[in-house]
């Protein structure tokens, strides 16, 4: 039988030939899985051999500010983004895991900003921002999105009266795309904080881009904006509800748009724009415009008492795990949560991440499931608890 983890089939097929544990292939598999560096949002995980556990400092303030998750760099090294982490019981509970997997380079980035936008004094928790960016060609566009997207969204939302989310998110993505184009056009002058292998030299940077799936949580809405093939899925009363649709070149409406603009979709290891890019929308990729656009598709979903969790992930998960399976795994982890101890409901890791352990367990298990099913891509997963009482009104 294929491997099982908490009732979830970890393999792609139901049966498999018995394997001699002493065989060369078995030893290779054991060594291969040891190469994966998981960085979960759980401080109970022991640090690697030869490394000391970092001291965690937690600061609680009356007016909390959003704190961004530290980037998980290639190679598994952990860096603290700030000397302290600000926590609040009004923050949404979440868990995040991001791993390089079987790829040579880590090109995914994750951004989480609780209370990134304070709209009303009667809503002290504000609105909350979650973003997953899956870079291609190199990591500098996804890194730039991680650093700037939430700030652009906040500025757009603050510029008007009542927030029109479709317009706000659309303008934000287009501005992000313009910033990336201008930044890449600056060449080496814009690479002061970049450590990517292409070093922002033209024409290499023209062939670099990133997907972006962004969720903004308000007390009564879930606003999801998607550009590319990362995905957001809502689990509501045990049912998986996709809040975004992948932008694949062979999607009928996307195929028609590309062809009408003079482009072509060529099947080369799957459908690709001009045989190169396996998605029809992305931020960056200047050399493929106007065929590859940065216009997002935006959905605004009313929150209900039946909402359980929201999952944002790169295609490293969705290529091998269905929406239904992902929601089932996350739901199982959330339902198994033990009653929290006083003052110990939120855990903080040395990577600067703040999270609930049940959400963290869900993100870790989903990542392990993707790797066990032989995902060939970077895998980044964010799980947000949406159950009643998680975000105060």
Q: What is the DSSP string of 134-169?
A: EEES-SHHHHHHHHHHHHHHHHHHHTSSS--HHHHH
How does pLDDT run across 45-63, given as a tens digit for each residue? 333 334 333 332 323 233 3
CA–CA gap between residue 1 and residue 74 (Å, rounded): 34
The two three-digit tokens of residue 152, written as one number: 């652009």
Q: Say how far apart CA 286 and CA 185 lie, in whole Å.
A: 10
Q: What is the pLDDT of residue 187?
A: 56
Delimit the domains of the chain by residue range.
83-242+300-393
Cα angle 77, 82, 88; round to 5: 115
C-alpha dist (Å) from residue 46 to 51, 74, 180, 337, 371: 10, 19, 38, 21, 21
Would you tell me how many other CB atoms lie within 10 Å of the CB of residue 276?
15
What distance in Å separates the CA atoms of residue 224 and residue 285, rounded to the nearest whole number? 22
Contacts of 269 (CB under 8 A, 6+ apart): none
**DSSP character string of 91-108:** SPPEEEEEE-TTSSS--E
> How confident is the model over 152-163, as pLDDT tens digits?
999 998 886 677
| CA gyration radius, the chain | 21
Closest by CA to 70, choosing from 348, 385, 386, is 348
pLDDT at residue 393 is higher than 50: no
CA trace torsion 13, 18, 24, 26 (10° rounding): 60
Sorting pLDDT into bands at 50, 70 and 90, what band is 117?
A: confident
pLDDT (0 to 100) of residue 295? 96
Judge whether residue 14 has pLDDT over 80. no
- Give the model's pLDDT for residue 163: 79
Q: Is 2.60.40.420 the CATH number for 83-242+300-393?
A: no
Separation CA 346–CA 130 (nearest Å) = 18
- Does residue 67 carry a pLDDT above 70? no
pLDDT at 346: 39
The token pair at 11 is: 């393999």
Angle at 57 between CA 53 and CA 63, to 5 degrees: 150
Contact 248, 228 (CB under 8 A): no
- Residue 13 burial (CB count, 10 A): 8
């Amino acid at each position: 039988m294929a491997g099982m983890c908490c009732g979830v089939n970890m393999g792609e097929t139901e049966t498999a030939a018995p394997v001699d544990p002493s065989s060369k292939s078995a030893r290779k598999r054991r060594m291969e899985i040891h190469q994966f560096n998981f960085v979960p949002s759980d401080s109970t995980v022991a640090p690697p051999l030869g490394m000391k556990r970092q001291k965690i400092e937690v600061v609680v303030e009356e007016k909390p500010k959003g704190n961004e998750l530290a980037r998980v760099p290639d190679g598994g090294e952990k860096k603290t983004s700030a000397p302290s982490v600000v926590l609040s019981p009004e923050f949404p509970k979440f868990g995040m895991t991001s791993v390089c997997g079987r790829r040579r380079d880590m090109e995914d980035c994750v951004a989480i900003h609780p209370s990134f936008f304070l709209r009303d004094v009667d809503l002290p928790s504000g609105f909350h921002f979650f973003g997953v960016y899956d870079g291609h060609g190199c990591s500098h566009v996804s890194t730039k999105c991680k650093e700037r997207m939430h700030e652009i969204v906040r500025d757009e939302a603050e510029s008007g009266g009542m927030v029109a989310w479709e317009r706000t998110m659309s303008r934000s993505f287009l501005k992000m795309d313009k910033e990336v184009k201008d930044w890449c056009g600056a060449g080496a002058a814009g690479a002061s904080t970049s450590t990517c292998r292409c070093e922002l030299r033209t024409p290499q940077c023209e062939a670099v881009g990133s997907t972006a799936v962004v969720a903004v949580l308000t007390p009564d809405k879930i606003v999801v904006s998607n550009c590319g093939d990362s995905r957001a899925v809502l689990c509501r009363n045990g049912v998986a509800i996709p809040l975004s649709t992948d932008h694949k070149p062979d999607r009928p409406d996307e195929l028609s748009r590309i062809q009408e603009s003079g482009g072509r979709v060529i099947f080369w290891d799957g459908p690709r724009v001009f045989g190169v890019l396996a998605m029809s929308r992305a931020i960056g990729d200047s050399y493929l415009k106007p065929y590859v656009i940065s216009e997002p598709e935006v959905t605004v979903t009313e929150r209900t008492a039946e909402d359980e969790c929201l999952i944002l992930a790169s295609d490293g998960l969705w290529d091998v795990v269905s929406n239904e399976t992902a929601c089932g795994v996350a739901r199982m982890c959330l339902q198994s949560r033990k009653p929290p101890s006083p003052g110990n409901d939120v855990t903080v890791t040395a990577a600067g991440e703040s999270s609930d352990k049940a959400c963290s367990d869900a993100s870790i298990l989903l990542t392990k499931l993707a790797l066990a099913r032989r995902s060939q891509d970077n895998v980044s997963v964010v799980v947000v608890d949406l159950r009643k009482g998680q975000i105060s009104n």
